[in-house]
């Protein structure tokens, strides 16, 4: 067969796989995590405690997890996509039942010494599940609306559960990531138009179901200066910090807004503000460029993969990363309302770090197993 030339043997030994790992991407990730460490060091007024050190340790642990995930065959993840999704849904149900209430929202569950945030798990699981289901839907079938029922159910189930927590930000991210997958899978564009129209129509209805603090956040976003010492305080102070940073920034540990506590949550959600105050426009843009390169890597990997599952997985997880970065930075700059979304690899936080490292592990697994073919109707038939 002339195809033999295409069809190199995808079965690699562990050693070969290890060589195939995309070390350039891992280097970029490491640089981002290192920037995180520096900023956390600064956030603690020049101390490795309490954040920078643990951030580094978590990254190191996450790197091991990443490599392990990457070593597993993409077909393994294909098989386990639905079970993982199911576990994610069950965890969301569990959080509903025994979750701990933090800041008026149920988001965490305790498993032994681990504090787990099921919504973080879900952000990866939904990509796996959607990649899996769209993998099985052919080019011709995708125009049929009935074929979209399955994927829509897959999206709806976790979204409703996350909304119930209530966590508006995460549920929106779930919807947007799903949208990206629907789009990449080839769902016709007019259907997105219909959904968007329906969504817009639903806004006044949805508003009634929002919690007061969520309404407040939206209102504050619309006019942050209206109440500089109240709800708009954080965003205003964040903008002041950014603006005061100027082109070159004030220098490490010199950010007055950050170090005099005018900036809230500077180790988590507002870490970008601190970076841009201390390293200026140059630092801020440099970070954006780094993320852009990482995302570009994701696209390259997606386009290089020879199976639809891998492509969708890579594009979906990359979209996930993009959404995190965009939402976080747009929020601290006052472009969108305040939603509690961390900056991937830079913000302090265990669950988010783990989720992002697993995501990269999956992306690298797609790369390592880029030549593996998976039949449209699943692996069962081939066996």
Partner 1 sequence: MALLNEDHSRFKTFSRRAALLGGGKALLFGALAARLYYLQVVEADKYATLAEDNRISLRLLPPPRGRILDRFGQPLAANEQNYKVVLVAEQAKDVERTLDRLAQIIELGAGERARIMTEVRKKRAFVPVTVREYLDWATVSRIEVNAPDLPGISIDVGQTRAYPFGPEMAHVLGYVAAVSESELKAAEDPLLELPGFKIGKNGLEKEYDEKLRGSAGTSTIEVNAVGRTIRELKREEGTPGKDLVLSLDQQLQTYVQQRLSGEKSASVVLLDIATGGVLAMGSVPSFDPNLFNLGISASHWRKLRNDPLHPLINKATAGLYNPGSTYKMMVALAALKAGIDPAETVYCPGHYDLGNARFHCWKNYGHGEMDMHAAIKESCDVYFYDLSRRVGIEKIAAMSRRFALGDKTGIDLPGERGGTIPTKAWKRAQIGEPWQGGETLVSAIGQGFVLTSPLQLAVMTARLASGRAVVPHFRRDLQPRADDGPRAQAVDAAQQVAETRGGPGPGTPAPEPMFAALDIPGADFALIRDAMDAVVNEPGGTAYSKRITRDGWHMAGKTGTSQVRRITMAERRQGVIDNEDLPWRRRDHGLYVAYAPVNAPRYAVAVVVEHGGGGSKSAAPIGRDVLAEAQRLDPLANDSPEQVADAPPIRRG
Q: Which is nearer to partner 1, 170 or 258 (CB)?
A: 258
Q: Closest distance between partner 1 and the C-beta of residue 383, in Å?
A: 16
| Part in contact with partner 1 (CB under 8 A); list of ranges 32-40, 54-62, 308-316, 355-363 | 308-316
Q: Cα separation of 292 and 289, whole Å?
A: 5
Site string for partner 1, 112-141 (x = CB under 8 A): --------------------------xx--
Helices (H), 136-167: 149-164
230 binds partner 1 (CB under 8 A): no
143 binds partner 1 (CB under 8 A): no
Q: With the CA atoms of 46, 49, 50 and 52 taken in that order, what torsion angle do they form, in degrees rounded to the nearest 10?
A: 70
285 binds partner 1 (CB under 8 A): yes
Q: Which is nearer to partner 1, 116 or 315 (CB)?
A: 315
Site for partner 1 in 241-270 (CB under 8 A): 241-247, 256-257, 260-262
Q: Closest distance between partner 1 and the C-beta of residue 90, in Å?
A: 31
Q: Cα separation of 315 and 294, whole Å?
A: 12
Find, among 315, 297, 310, the residue nearest to 74 by Cα.
310
330 binds partner 1 (CB under 8 A): yes
Q: Which helix (H) or strand (E) holds 39?
A: helix 23-43
Q: Closest distance between partner 1 and the C-beta of residue 142, in Å?
A: 9
3-state secondary structure of 383: coil
Among positions 109, 121, 315, 368, the unique one binding partner 1 when judged by CB under 8 A = 315
Cβ neighbours of residue 84 closer than 8 Å, sequence gap 6 or more: 124, 125, 128, 129
Find, among 200, 185, 103, the residue nearest to 147 by Cα.
185
Q: Closest distance between partner 1 and the C-beta of residue 84, in Å?
A: 23
Site for partner 1 in 156-215 (CB under 8 A): 180, 183-186
Size of the site for partner 1 (CB under 8 A): 52
First to last CA, the chain: 21
Cβ(122)–Cβ(88) below 8 Å: yes
32 binds partner 1 (CB under 8 A): no
Q: Cα separation of 359 and 78, whole Å?
A: 14
Find, among 5, 72, 24, the residue nearest to 369 by Cα.
72
Binding site for partner 1 (CB under 8 A): 3, 138-139, 180, 183-186, 237, 239-247, 256-257, 260-262, 276, 280-281, 284-285, 288, 291-292, 295-296, 299, 302-303, 306-308, 311-312, 315, 319, 322, 326, 329-330, 333, 335, 373, 375-376
């Amino acid at each position: 067969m002339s195809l033999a030339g295409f069809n190199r043997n995808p079965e690699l030994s562990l050693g070969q796989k290890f060589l195939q790992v995309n070390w350039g991407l891992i280097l970029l990730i490491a640089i981002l995590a290192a920037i995180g460490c520096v900023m956390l060091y600064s956030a603690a007024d020049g101390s490795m405690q309490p954040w920078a050190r643990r951030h580094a340790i978590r990254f190191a642990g996450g790197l091991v997890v990443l490599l392990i995930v990457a070593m597993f065959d993409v077909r393994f993840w294909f098989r386990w996509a639905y079970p993982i999704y199911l576990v994610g849904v069950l965890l969301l149900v569990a959080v509903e039942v025994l979750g701990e209430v933090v800041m008026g929202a149920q988001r965490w569950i305790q498993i032994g010494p681990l504090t787990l945030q099921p919504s973080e798990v879900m952000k990866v699981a939904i990509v796996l599940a959607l990649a899996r289901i769209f993998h099985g839907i052919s080019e011709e079938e995708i125009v049929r609306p009935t074929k979209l029922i399955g994927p829509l159910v897959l999206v709806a189930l976790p979204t409703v559960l996350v909304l119930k927590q209530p966590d508006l930000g995460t549920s929106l991210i779930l919807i947007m990531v799903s949208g990206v997958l629907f789009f990449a899978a080839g769902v016709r564009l007019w259907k997105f138009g219909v959904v968007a129209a329906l969504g817009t129509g639903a806004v006044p209805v949805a508003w009634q179901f929002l919690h007061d603090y969520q309404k407040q956040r939206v209102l504050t976003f619309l006019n942050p200066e209206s109440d500089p010492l109240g709800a708009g305080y954080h965003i205003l102070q964040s903008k002041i910090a950014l603006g005061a940073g100027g082109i070159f920034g004030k220098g490490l540990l010199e950010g007055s807004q950050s170090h005099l506590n005018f900036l809230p949550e500077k180790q988590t959600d507002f870490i970008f503000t601190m970076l841009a105050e201390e390293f200026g426009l140059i630092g801020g843009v440099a970070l954006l460029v780094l993320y852009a390169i990482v995302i570009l890597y994701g696209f390259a990997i997606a386009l290089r993969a020879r199976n639809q599952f891998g492509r969708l997985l890579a594009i979906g997880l990359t979209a996930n990363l993009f959404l995190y970065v965009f939402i976080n930075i747009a929020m601290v700059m006052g472009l969108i309302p305040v939603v509690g979304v961390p900056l991937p690899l830079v913000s302090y936080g265990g669950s988010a770090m783990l989720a992002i490292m697993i995501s990269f592990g999956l992306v690298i697994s797609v790369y390592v197993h880029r030549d593996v073919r998976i039949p449209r109707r699943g692996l069962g038939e081939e066996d």
